[in-house]
């Protein structure tokens, strides 16, 4: 990736972090960089290519966070939740809607999933089920769907304990 392409992706990442995926438009991105929108197309064919680069960065960051969290599903769940709550807009961009697999670096999706697969002794079905639980809990929390004062830590513990049975 060229230096200018990197600058574009970094600006796109900041736009998403600040205002969500809807804040990332080619016009807003160009404005952030002080250029005209058509200039962006010299570096990226379309907005989805820029979004894929932002998703790749978010997935790499999440993978590093999970890799650093050595332990069972509970430890990984805390790291996963912490990442999502710290970066809600990036989390939503990378985890809702179809994943642009063809535009992501080879092996990135597997790398991001590997810590959880290892934590459940290599069972890919159980890993998917635990991930679905964690994703659902995070989305409900981000969307403010739990009642005020709900014991979310307790709900996480109960959910993970159910998988351990």
* Residues 6-59: tens digit of each pLDDT: 999 999 999 999 999 999 999 999 999 999 999 999 999 999 999 999 999 999
pTM of the model: 0.93
Q: Tell me how many degrees the CA angle 102-106-109 measures, rounded to the nearest 5.
A: 85
CATH among 3.40.190.10, 2.40.50.100, 3.30.465.10, 1.10.357.10 for 3-164: 1.10.357.10
Question: Would you place residue 70 in the very low, low, confident or very high pLDDT band (cuts 50, 70, 90)?
Answer: confident
The residue extents of the domains of the chain are: 3-164
139 exposure class (CB count in 10 Å sphere: 0-12, 13-18, 19+): middle
Contacts of 4 (CB under 8 A, 6+ apart): 43
């Amino acid at each position: 990736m060229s230096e200018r392409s990197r600058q574009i992706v970094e600006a796109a990442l900041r736009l998403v972090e600040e205002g969500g995926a809807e804040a990332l438009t080619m016009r807003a991105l160009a404005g952030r960089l002080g250029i005209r929108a058509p200039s962006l197309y010299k570096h990226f064919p379309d907005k989805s290519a820029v979004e894929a680069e932002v998703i790749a960065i978010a997935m790499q960051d999440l993978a590093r966070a999970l890799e650093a969290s050595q332990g069972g599903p509970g430890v990984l769940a805390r790291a996963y939740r912490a990442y999502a709550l710290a970066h809600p807009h990036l989390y939503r961009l990378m985890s809702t809607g179809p994943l642009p697999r063809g535009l992501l670096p080879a092996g990135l999706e597997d790398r991001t999933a590997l810590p959880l697969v290892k934590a459940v002794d290599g069972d890919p079905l159980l890993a998917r089920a635990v991930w679905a639980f964690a994703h659902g809990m995070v989305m409900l929390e981000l969307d403010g769907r739990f009642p005020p004062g709900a014991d979310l830590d307790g709900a996480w513990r109960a959910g993970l304990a159910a998988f351990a049975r």
